Amino acid sequence: MTAITLNVIVQGLLTGLVYGLMALGLSVIFGVMRVVNFAHGEFTVVAMYAAFVLFEGLHLDPLIALLPIAAVFFGIGYLLQRTLINPFVGRAEHEQFILLVGLATVIVNGLLLVFGPDARPINLSYSFDSYAVGSMFLDKVRVFAAIGALAVAAALLLFFRYTRTGTAIRACADNLTGAAVVGLDVKQLYAVTFGLGLACVGAAGTLMATIADASPSLAQAYTLLAFTIVIIGGLGSMVGALIGGILIGVSEALAGFYIQPSMKSMFSFALLIIVLVLRPQGLMGRRL
């Protein structure tokens, strides 16, 4: 394998980890609540703008702003679920779809009104730096973002595995009736789940802002990307979301390098179709 190919794969892997974190939020929400967040990409872009505003106003590095932004997004997710989303849980899918698409439209147009259409970069002191590893160049921002994504994903997995609340949420996902019967407060747990899902999105968006320039036009693309990753990885599977993200990141990078850069997205969708045909439940999902 040539050094350049390895460089392409590693860069793709690093980007894919951040994609995976973004998709993780979607997977958590769907896995527990069976609600598909069609405003996922829009929330990611809001987080990017939040990181931008904190950087411009307070010179706060996004890696430091990650925790407070994630915390705020948890709060937003919690309140959103309690007020707007909860009445739609269990309702027809098309009603959830319209609600969240409407929310997405409001968010994007709100961003356009406030920030305008121009892309907003975060110019960190190390934005233009890279690590030279042999003949490979690894962007510092990408390395840091990937480490951040892994850390957040690991924290979330540990939360679901080792905490009482995490265990209770998993119980709701596994057997809703049983969870209610044993006295778990399902509404409260759903709100926490939605909050956690959006916290993931907040973290992912903050990290993404170091790699890409915030712009309202990214929102739809990110929603589509998150869906592609989650379907490839397996709806409801957190590890699947991460693996899906890495697969997409690497396949896009390799396709762009060896075939045509303008066809990067085509290969993500080709991969999606292959997975749907050969393994419809996704790589790590349970058989339907």
Q: Are 124 and 206 in contact (CB under 8 A)?
A: no
Considering the rule CB under 8 A, would residue 45 count as an interface residue with another protein?
no
Nearer Cβ to another protein (45/200): 45
Region at 183 (left for phi over 0; alpha for psi -120 to 50; beta for the rest): left
Nearer Cβ to another protein (93/118): 118
- Give the nearest distance from C-beta 201 to another protein in angstroms: 16
- Give the nearest distance from C-beta 39 to another protein in angstroms: 19
Considering the rule CB under 8 A, would residue 264 count as an interface residue with another protein?
yes
Nearer Cβ to another protein (8/200): 8
Structure tokens at 182: 């044993």
Considering the rule CB under 8 A, would residue 7 count as an interface residue with another protein?
yes
Nearest one of 166, 156, 158, 126 to 143, comparing CA atoms: 126
Considering the rule CB under 8 A, would residue 262 count as an interface residue with another protein?
yes
Q: Are 168 and 179 in contact (CB under 8 A)?
A: yes
Nearest one of 189, 159, 160 to 172, comparing CA atoms: 189
Q: Are 248 and 236 in contact (CB under 8 A)?
A: no
Considering the rule CB under 8 A, would residue 210 count as an interface residue with another protein?
no
222: enclosing H helix or E strand: helix 218-233
Per-state percent for the chain, helix, strand, coil, to nearest 5: 75, 5, 20
Considering the rule CB under 8 A, would residue 117 count as an interface residue with another protein?
yes
Considering the rule CB under 8 A, would residue 114 count as an interface residue with another protein?
no
Question: What phi and psi values does residue 283 have, to the nearest 5 degrees?
Answer: -65, -40
* Sole binder of another protein in the list 252, 268, 275, 285 (CB under 8 A): 252
- Give the nearest distance from C-beta 261 to another protein in angstroms: 4
- Give the nearest distance from C-beta 8 to another protein in angstroms: 6
Beta strands in 88-201 (DSSP E): 130-133, 136-139
Spatial neighbors of 13 by CB under 8 A, at least 6 apart, are 146, 246, 249, 250
Nearer Cβ to another protein (215/228): 215
Q: Which residues of 182-206 are buried (b: 16+ CB within 10 A; e: fewer)?
A: eebebeebbbbbbbbbbbbbbbbbb
Nearer Cβ to another protein (176/224): 224
Q: Are 178 and 51 in contact (CB under 8 A)?
A: no
Structure tokens at 51: 């990181």
Nearer Cβ to another protein (105/217): 217
Nearer Cβ to another protein (149/186): 149
Considering the rule CB under 8 A, would residue 265 count as an interface residue with another protein?
yes
- Give the nearest distance from C-beta 236 to another protein in angstroms: 27
Considering the rule CB under 8 A, would residue 218 count as an interface residue with another protein?
yes
Site size toward another protein, by CB under 8 A:
34
Instruction: Say how far residue 3 (Cα) sits from the centre of its chain.
Output: 30
- Give the nearest distance from C-beta 142 to another protein in angstroms: 8
Nearer Cβ to another protein (137/269): 137
- What residues make contact with another protein under the rule CB under 8 A? 4, 7-8, 11-12, 15, 117-119, 121, 123, 127-130, 132, 137, 139, 211-213, 215, 217-218, 221, 252-253, 256-257, 260-262, 264-265
